[in-house]
């Protein structure tokens, strides 16, 4: 296993980043750095927990590997995703995609917002990186909608109990939180449509992931295409 930085290396990095001998300024830099490391570490651990869950591993098996109780593992990695996502890091385009997903849910007379609705929401932002990845592989709004109609058909009747703002399903919430972790993985301080797209693959059992994989866009290809577009934008 590749060793991480030892204590002295971390201290030296913090001092260098501070650029000052003032103890309080160094403390402030240390607090910020450790906070970022903790967030990144939690996101990385959550990434592999998602993978294990997507592969059908039980919470009992996962908790045994982590050395904690089943209840503790579930509370940290499952219950944390049951709350309403925060969108403060989302770009304007990513936020619009999420809003479009909710509109798609209402259009299909669904009383929930699932991953399938978020996937269709991408096409509300045709110039976004995620949508360019899709269309670059020949995946269009029509092909996605047709595939979703098979797995999650629209309701023919309007549910009068449907709230004005349908709640996110657990899996959709997981994707919205997971997009933040994907952004951290790429070293970004924002959440864009590309991070949402990559977050779909954290659980291969979601409707969105099934549709994407079924149309030839597996996770590795999505990563490759995303990186190519990001490199083009950076230049």
Same domain, 131 and 105: yes
- Both 62 and 168 in one domain: the answer is no
Which has more confidence, 235 or 107? 107
- Axis crossing angle, helix 170-185 with helix 23-54, rounded to the nearest 10: 130
Q: What is the CATH number of the domain that holds 219?
A: 1.10.1780.10
Nearest to 118 by CA among 140, 134, 103: 103
Do 122 and 162 lie in one domain? The reply is: yes
CA distance to 109, 124, 125, 143, 201, per residue, from 106 (Å): 5, 15, 18, 20, 25
Query: How many independent structural domains does the chain possess?
Result: 2
Based on the domain organization, do 34 and 13 belong to the same domain? yes
pLDDT tens for each residue of 32-72: 888 777 766 776 777 677 777 666 677 788 888 888 887 77
- Which residues, 6+ apart, have CB-to-CB distance to 90 below 8 Å? 98, 179, 190, 191, 192
Look over the chain and give the mean of its residue pLDDT values, rounded to a whole number: 86
Q: Decide if 61 is inside a domain.
A: yes
Same domain, yes or no, for 35 and 103?
no
Residue 210 is predicted with a pLDDT of 95
Q: Is 155 helix (H, G, I), strand (E, B) or coil?
A: coil
pLDDT interval class at 196 (50, 70, 90): very high
Q: What is the pLDDT of residues 123-138, one digit of tens each?
A: 999 999 999 999 999 9
> Looking at 54, 81, 108, which one is the last position of a domain?
81
Predicted pLDDT of residue 155: 86
153 vs 72, which has greater pLDDT?
Answer: 153
Answering whether pTM is above 0.85, one says: no
pLDDT, greater one: 206 or 72:
206
**Are 217 and 136 in contact, with CB atoms under 8 Å apart?**
no
CA–CA distance, 162 with 143 (Å, rounded to integer): 27
Least confident of 77-91, 144-158, 172-186: 77-91
* pLDDT of res. 225: 96
Is-contact 197 130, C-beta < 8 A? yes
Q: What is the residue range of 135's domain?
A: 92-234
For residue range 66-96, what is the model confidence (pLDDT) as tens digits? 888 877 776 666 655 555 567 888 999 999 9
* Same domain (yes/no): 61, 155: no
């Amino acid at each position: 296993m590749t060793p991480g930085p030892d204590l002295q290396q971390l201290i030296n990095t913090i001092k260098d980043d501070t650029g000052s001998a003032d103890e309080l300024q160094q403390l402030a830099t240390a607090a910020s750095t450790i906070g970022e490391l903790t967030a990144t570490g939690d996101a990385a651990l959550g990434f592999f927990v998602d993978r294990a869950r997507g592969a059908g591993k039980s919470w009992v098996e996962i908790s045994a590997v982590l050395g904690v109780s089943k209840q503790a593992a579930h509370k940290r990695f499952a219950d944390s995703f049951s709350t309403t996502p925060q969108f403060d890091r989302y770009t304007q385009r990513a936020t619009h995609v999420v809003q479009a997903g909710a509109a798609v849910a209402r259009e299909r007379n669904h009383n929930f917002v699932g991953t399938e609705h978020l996937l269709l929401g991408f096409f509300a932002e045709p110039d976004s990186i995620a949508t360019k990845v899709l269309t670059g592989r020949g995946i269009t709004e029509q092909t996605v909608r047709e595939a979703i109609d098979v797995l999650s058909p629209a309701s023919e009747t309007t549910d009068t109990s449907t709230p004005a703002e349908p709640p996110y399903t657990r899996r959709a919430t997981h994707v919205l939180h997971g997009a933040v972790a994907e952004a951290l993985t790429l070293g970004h301080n924002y959440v864009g449509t590309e991070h949402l797209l990559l977050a779909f693959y954290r659980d291969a059992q979601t409707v969105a992931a099934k549709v994407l994989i079924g149309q030839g866009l597996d996770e590795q290809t999505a990563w490759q295409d995303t990186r190519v577009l990001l490199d083009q934008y950076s230049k």
